[in-house]
A and B are shown apart, each in its own frame.
Chain A
Amino acid sequence: MGLKPEEIKSPLAAFIAEHACARTVRITALERFGSGAVQENWRVDAEIDGKAEVFVMRASSASEGVAESMSRVHEFALLAAAHAARIAVPEPLWLGSDPGLIGRQFYIARFVPGVAAAHRLVRDPALGDALVARLGEELARIHALRPGHPALAFLEMPQPTPARANVARIRVFLDRHPTPHPALEWVLRWLELHEPPCRELKLAHRDYRTGNYLVERGELRAILDWEFSAWSDPHEDLGWFCARCWRFGSNEREAGGIGSREAFYQGYERAAGRNIERAAVPYWEVMAHARWASMAIQQGVRHLSGRDRSLELALTARIAPELELEALHLIRAIEDAPRGASWRS
């Protein structure tokens, strides 16, 4: 069950007053955003010593949520590091690490206006290659952060490689799940056998896709939802962004359902100053479908467990079959591709 506005209003006002060093804080509106199946996002309208301000509160879910998502404490640190690196993110302000305050861990960030809803963005005719080039550029900025960053020591190094770590995590989940998933297992085995070499580790967002960024009047305003970030192969984010499951029906626009793949790649390459290993991206698109399938199955578990009962979560679980099928389809396409189109040849 979600947080109750009437119960959290007054502890939240006290929390903001303490951190903003304000005499009086009045919360004038508290409204949950529709998105955020894993975390709860709230818009907080407040009057701080009489001055109106808008914030976002991001709170952990009632249950443990999805296994690989990080705590609010780490997410806050990550957001701070990204903000310091001038990556477009909502500026993180204050961390409520004591779950006794409102019943969950949470943090407050500055509100950024814009639209995140994927179904609206992919249908907006004003959006296209310019936006995906900009998204490529922003991704390159994220990938400029590397292991050894002093504020990000809590992020684990993938063992032995990013691809193997993904496969191992999904298998751990499947081993605990009551129903066997042979198609997903087949995809994981293929991923294990066809791993392209990982040449470098960068900060990867690992949920960089349409639906997780804010657009206002055609401009990129902020990258959201950092809870899955980790050190990884930068091609993981490129494959995730272009994967068919994140085009929201706008399938012919391969970069996030918004623009062309080439515009996205070129925006990235210009900012990164290095080339994308184009042949490695389809491998990471297979990975994207495998990982999203396992997450979709986990959303169904959350619903069935009774801790986060929700029609949205239950329906998300029903997406898993088409994600498995798409992964099988992609593997066929990769294997049938002429030699020379593969990183292995």
Chain B
Amino acid sequence: MRDRPSAADLIEIAREVLQQELLPRLPPELRTHGLMVANALANAEREISAGMAPELAELGRLASRYGEGTDASGGERLQGALERLNRRLVADIRAGRLDGNREIARHLFATAVDAVRESNPKYLRSRGIE
């Protein structure tokens, strides 16, 4: 078991140093770069904090849709199972087998919301989703 400070703790403090100490001292032509670095760190921070929960939830919904068990808990196996089931889902969508299927629409919406919670939580607030 790893002790803390964890990767998330390190990224958090690195971002704080960047925003509070470095950004105000950057020359104007480098400010955009500084903001992009802060944004990248915040993105990574949120992804690490969310951990495996969003992908496990996605896999749970996919597995129940396709009548499979969800024992994929190891990192490698989770990715492999997600990719396989998502490929099947994509093929079904393209073939028109899921046209108008509200359950799938809800699944895709929930999966997208989880992803945006990591990439841009402000969007969810501005759209009144959260």
Contacts and interface: CB of A to CB of B under 8 A. Distances in A.
Interface of A: 34, 171, 174, 179-183, 185-186, 188-189, 193, 251, 311-312, 314-315, 318-319, 321-322, 324-326, 328-329, 332
A185 B92 CA distance: 10
Given A321-B119, A322-B120, A186 B40 contact: no
B26 interface: no
B119 to A, nearest CB: 5
Given A251-B126, A325-B113, A328-B109, A180 B86 contact: yes
B89 A182 contact: yes
B36 interface: yes
Contacts of B127: 325-326, 329
A251 B127 CA distance: 10
Q: Nearest 6 pairs between A and B by C-beta?
A: A321-B115, A325-B112, A180-B86, A183-B108, A318-B119, A185-B93
A311 B90 contact: no
Given A182-B86, A182-B89, A315-B39, A189 B94 contact: yes
Contact of A181 (B37, B90, B119, B129): B90
Interface string B22-62: 00000000001100110110010000000000000000000
Contacts of A181: 90
Contacts of B86: 180, 182
B104 interface: yes
Nearest to A190: B99
Given A186-B93, A325-B116, A314 B108 contact: no
B93 A325 contact: no
A80 to B, nearest CB: 33
Nearest to B109: A328
22 contacts: A180-B83, A182-B86, A182-B93, A183-B112, A186-B108, A189-B96, A189-B99, A311-B33, A314-B40, A315-B39, A315-B40, A318-B120, A319-B120, A325-B109, A325-B112, A325-B116, A325-B123, A326-B127, A328-B105, A328-B108, A328-B112, A332-B105
Interface of B is mostly: helix
Given A189-B94, A193-B99, A321-B119, A183 B111 contact: yes
Contacts of A322: 116, 119-120, 123
Contacts, number: 80
B87 interface: yes
Contacts of B99: 189, 193
A325 B126 CA distance: 13
A251 B123 CA distance: 11
Nearest to A193: B99
Interface of A is mostly: helix
A311 B37 contact: yes
A181 B87 CA distance: 8
Contact of B90 (A185, A314, A318, A326): A185
Given A311-B37, A318-B119, A329-B127, A189 B83 contact: no
A314 to B, nearest CB: 7
A186 B123 contact: no
Given A171-B94, A186-B93, A321-B119, 20 more contacts: A174-B90, A180-B83, A180-B90, A182-B90, A182-B93, A185-B94, A186-B104, A186-B108, A188-B94, A189-B93, A189-B98, A189-B99, A311-B40, A312-B36, A318-B43, A319-B119, A322-B116, A325-B116, A325-B129, A332-B105
Nearest to B88: A180
B116 to A, nearest CB: 5
A321 B93 CA distance: 18
Contacts of A321: 112, 115-116, 118-120
A180 B43 CA distance: 21
Interface string B69-113: 000000000000001001101100110101100001100110111
Nearest to B114: A321
A326 B124 CA distance: 10
A315 B36 contact: yes
Nearest to B127: A329
B89 to A, nearest CB: 5
A326 B123 CA distance: 9
Contact of A186 (B83, B105, B119, B120): B105
